[in-house]
């Protein structure tokens, strides 16, 4: 399969996974308020200026867009591949003229936004699912005013006090083969792709105590468990997720979830 056909297939699978996820995504957010808080942390870390125009790439059902509007008075345009996530978001926030969500490919942003220009292009927990992050950042830069900022928050790292990777430990303890890859684009690759489109990249972290109930709920979202147990049906994935985090109970008190973030300014 040529690279373009492969990338199209990956994106179709991502859209399907999130189409299946929108209800559990909403339930998860109601319980944990997590994607909202992650957006606020990202915005605070990069010193986001209130009242800015923001393009929110991989906006899902609009949680990140809403956080940017409510906490920072931003005008937000959100773009997402999953029609169901966007429709759910339009239902939740459609009456707000400052939050506009549209279906579209975050690797084809120029086509989606036309001649609008933004102060920020943000990716809250989405860039690691993009097969061609570099293309997306190039498009993001084209949608920014000079001096505008591109920033992303990333997939979680689970670590003990010594910095060891606890997801690998959990797979070892369960005697299961670890996933071939947990993300489509890893942090280093995303950061290097960003470096090519901005002046320099600054890194940030949000470190939280390891919370096993939170992790179980997070990976109960169908699209999240698909990364850990590809090829298994959802019922099997739920059962495996429960077992996977149960084996970390002894190490949880000394451990953390690290949310990495990166940002860069366009010349």
Contacting positions for ligand SAM (CB under 6 A): 11, 14, 18, 35, 39, 58-60, 63-64, 79-82, 85, 105-107, 124-126, 129-130
Q: Which is nearer to ligand SAM, 126 or 225 (CB)?
A: 126
Helices 234-246 and 212-220 sit at what angle, rounded to 10 degrees? 170
Instruction: Pick the closest to residue 152 from 112, 182, 197 (CA basis).
Output: 197
Q: How far is the CB of 251 from ligand SAM (least distance, A)?
A: 26
What whole-number distance in Å separates Cα of residue 40 and Cα of residue 209?
Answer: 18
Q: How far is the CB of 125 from ligand SAM (least distance, A)?
A: 4
Q: Which is nearer to ligand SAM, 19 or 119 (CB)?
A: 19
Residue the block writes with tokens 């102060």: 119
Q: How far is the CB of 243 from ligand SAM (least distance, A)?
A: 23
What whole-number distance in Å separates Cα of residue 246 and Cα of residue 212?
Answer: 8
Q: Which is nearer to ligand SAM, 57 or 251 (CB)?
A: 57
C-alpha distances out from residue 17 to 61, 86, 136, 192, 203, Å:
14, 14, 20, 27, 29
Q: Which is nearer to ligand SAM, 29 or 173 (CB)?
A: 29
Phi, psi of 101 (to 5 degrees): -115, 130
Q: How far is the CB of 103 from ligand SAM (least distance, A)?
A: 9
Q: Which is nearer to ligand SAM, 226 or 251 (CB)?
A: 226
What is the rounded end-to-end Cα distance, in angstroms, of the chain?
37
Query: Please, what is the Cα angle at 184 between 43 and 189, to 5 degrees?
Result: 65
Q: How far is the CB of 232 from ligand SAM (least distance, A)?
A: 20
């Amino acid at each position: 399969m040529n690279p373009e056909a492969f990338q199209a297939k990956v994106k179709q699978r991502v859209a399907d996974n999130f189409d299946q996820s929108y209800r559990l995504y909403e339930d998860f957010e109601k319980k944990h308020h997590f994607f909202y808080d992650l957006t606020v942390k990202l915005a605070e870390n990069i010193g986001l200026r209130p009242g800015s125009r923001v393009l929110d790439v991989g906006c899902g059902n609009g949680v990140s867009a809403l956080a940017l509007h409510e906490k920072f008075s931003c005008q937000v345009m959100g773009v997402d591949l999953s029609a169901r996530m966007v429709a759910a978001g339009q239902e939740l926030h459609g009456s707000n003229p400052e939050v506009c969500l549209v279906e579209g490919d975050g690797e084809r942003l120029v086509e989606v936004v036309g001649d609008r220009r933004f102060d920020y292009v943000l990716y809250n927990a989405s860039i690691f699912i993009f097969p061609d992050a570099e293309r997306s950042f190039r498009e993001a830069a084209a949608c920014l005013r000079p001096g505008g900022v591109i920033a992303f928050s990333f997939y979680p790292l689970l670590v003990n006090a010594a910095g060891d990777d606890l997801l690998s430990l959990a797979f070892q303890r369960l005697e299961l083969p670890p996933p071939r890859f947990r993300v489509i684009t890893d942090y280093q690759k995303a950061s290097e792709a960003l470096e090519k489109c901005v002046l320099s990249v600054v890194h940030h972290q949000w470190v939280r105590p390891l919370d096993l109930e939170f992790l179980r709920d997070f990976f109960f979202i169908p699209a999240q468990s698909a990364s850990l147990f590809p090829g298994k049906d959802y019922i099997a994935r739920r059962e495996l997720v429960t077992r996977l985090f149960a084996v970390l109970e002894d190490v949880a008190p000394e451990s953390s979830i690290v949310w990495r973030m990166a940002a860069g300014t366009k010349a």
